[in-house]
Structure 1
Amino acid sequence: MSCLTLLNGAIRNGFGKASFSTTQSLQQIIKLSRLRVVDNSALGRAAMQSGKPPRCIHVYKNTGVGTIGDKILVAIMGQKKRGYIIGCRQKQAAGVPRFDSNNMVLVDDSGTPLGTRIRVPVPSCLRGKATGDFSKVLAIASKFV
């Protein structure tokens, strides 16, 4: 057998389809979008180190597309957790930074963040949303962009 035949057999299964996924993270946050946990919570660190990033289950918004500052429900390590989006890859309005990945912060059911620090800069446009549970997330942020 030639090397090309072995390579094609290793990459492709019997039906001619690739047996592994090479998809990138989506430009917008919808159902089944992969996210990156950017707080220092134990659950978030374990998920990111094991290579199983959280996936969005539901966006608490009528349009179904999440943007910066929206509340979402994610599946992470076999659990359902709530979180807030603090960074998106999608095209943003003027003055709002665009991120390389879809970033989120995990919160518990009462709205308290699971971590004690956010490791990435947070957009300063979120300071206007400092009402209710979201003010707790902004309190643990140290850098703003």
Structure 2
Amino acid sequence: MNFVPVRLLLVKSSESAGFHTCTSVQQIQKMTRLRVVDNSNLGKEAMLEGRPPRCIHIYNKKGIGYTGDKVLVAIKGQKKRAILTGCHQNQKPLMPKFDSNNIVLIDDSGSPLGTRIHVPVPTMLRSKLADMSRPKGADYTKILAIATRFV
């Protein structure tokens, strides 16, 4: 009988190969890429260049952003505030799940930079934004006024 020697192939593990095999994180946290869904000039330019804004801070105690939370984003070398209007992560009951993480850019007074929102906005956002608004502070309900469709 003829014996053929068998060679052992050494396969590198995924850790030594330099890439990760963990599942993707489906939550809004720091350095998450977002999609601007209003018609502000700054948002349109950033999305056309292929450099979407990134979240650099979330204004809540958990550090994880949900629909209706206020975030600080880095867009075209500037820091702007935004409201999350749709998230890709698993949501609470009666809150719709979106295909992308959507934001609407706002200024310091809480009014949106754009004049129209191109995607549907959850109706549950109405109560959350009304609670966030203050009589002498920011009025976030203007975001609902420029929305054309609700889910």
Q: If the TM-score is normalised by the length of the shorter chain, which range does it land in?
A: 0.7 to 0.9
Percent of pairs identical after alignment?
61
TM-score normalised by L of structure 1:
0.81
The partner residue of 2:148 within 135, 142, 145 is: 142
Asked whether 1:99 is paired with 2:105, we answer: no
- For residue 126 of structure 1, what is the amino acid of its counterpart? L
Where 1:127 maps in the other structure, the secondary structure is: helix
- For residue 79 of structure 2, what is the amino acid of its counterpart? K
Name 1:128's counterpart in structure 2.
127
Given that 2:68 and 2:129 are in contact with CA atoms closer than 8 Å, whether structure 1 keeps it comes out as no
TM-score normalised by L of structure 2:
0.78
Aligned length: 124
Structure-1 separation of matches of 2:114 and 2:42: 9
Structure-2 separation of matches of 1:137 and 1:44: 15
Structure-2 separation of matches of 1:51 and 1:30: 20
Which consecutive unaligned segments of at least 5 residues does structure 1 have? 1-15, 19-24
What is the root-mean-square deviation of aligned Cα atoms in Å? Answer: 1.5
- Structure possessing the higher radius of gyration over alpha carbons: 2
Where 2:45 maps in the other structure, the secondary structure is: helix
